[in-house]
Amino acid sequence: MALYVCRDGDAITQEDLRRMARLMPPDRRVRWKKFRSDQDARNLVVAYWLAMFGLQQESPEAAGLPWRYSRYGKPAVEGTEFNISHSAELCACGVSRSEIGVDVQQIERSLDVVELAEVVMGAREMARITQALDSHSAFIRLWAMKESYVKCLGGGLYYQLPSIDLSGLSEGGGEYRGLQLETWRHGDYWFSVCTREGGQWPSDVHHVPAETLLSLAEQMGPSVNQEASSKDRKSVV
């Protein structure tokens, strides 16, 4: 189990980014074309190849398998779970043999955290946020923890977020309803990972340069597309 992070995706040129996008499977290319935000479109491409890199490192036999999706859109491959998150220019992907949820959030000082907290936080969580010395950081930490928790369960934001009360957990996380949440801050970002067995965070974090992802796309892209095309032909038959 490990977490892979790319911080310099913005360094990829537009030409290289388009080439990396064309080397993704058809379903990912369709999603890429729908994004109106350049940053979101870039992050989708970088996150895809970061996930492929993580799968290749942790479960090589799974790296060439097609992604399958839950009813809520959470991807996985047979025998291996993974989860993707991105915020601003940073992308992250956790890979595990069991359920995993990952979230990374940039601390945005422009946010009205009290107004947002009233929608997604419970009363005790609201109290922790308003009493904190840095309310923005406190809100983002709890928000990242909630996101990683529901992503681990696979239900996305269909859960009633205020009912998930994480106010009793420490700044570094803890156990909640049988799952292990671990959080840490690095610079202007909060990271949160939710798993059943826990991990050694942030020591299990591996930083991957964008240049490495570009090389991987050029290496794996043709075979990835061939697998996707073969799957499509079988589904038609």
Question: pLDDT tens-digit profile of 204-237?
Answer: 899 999 999 999 999 998 777 655 445 443 433 3
Task: Residue 226: give its domain's CATH number.
Answer: 3.90.470.20
104 shares its domain with 190 = yes
In a domain, 117, yes or no: yes
In a domain, 29, yes or no: yes
135 shares its domain with 66 = no
For 151-207, write each residue's pLDDT tens digit.
999 876 667 899 999 999 999 999 999 999 999 999 999 999 999 877 776 678 999
For 48-87, write each residue's pLDDT tens digit.
999 999 999 999 998 888 899 888 888 999 889 999 999 9
Q: What is the pLDDT of residue 232?
A: 45
In a domain, 89, yes or no: no
188 shares its domain with 110 = yes
In a domain, 25, yes or no: yes
In a domain, 4, yes or no: no
Q: Range of 211's domain?
A: 9-79+207-237
107 shares its domain with 184 = yes
Q: What is the pLDDT of residue 155?
A: 73
Please tell me the distance from the alpha carbon of residue 11 to that of residue 209, in angstroms, as a whole number. Answer: 10
In a domain, 135, yes or no: yes
Q: Could you tell me if 181 and 145 are in contact, meaning their C-beta atoms sit under 8 angstroms apart?
A: yes
pTM for the predicted model, two decimal places: 0.91
212 shares its domain with 166 = no
103 shares its domain with 174 = yes
Considering its fold, how many domains does the chain have in total?
2
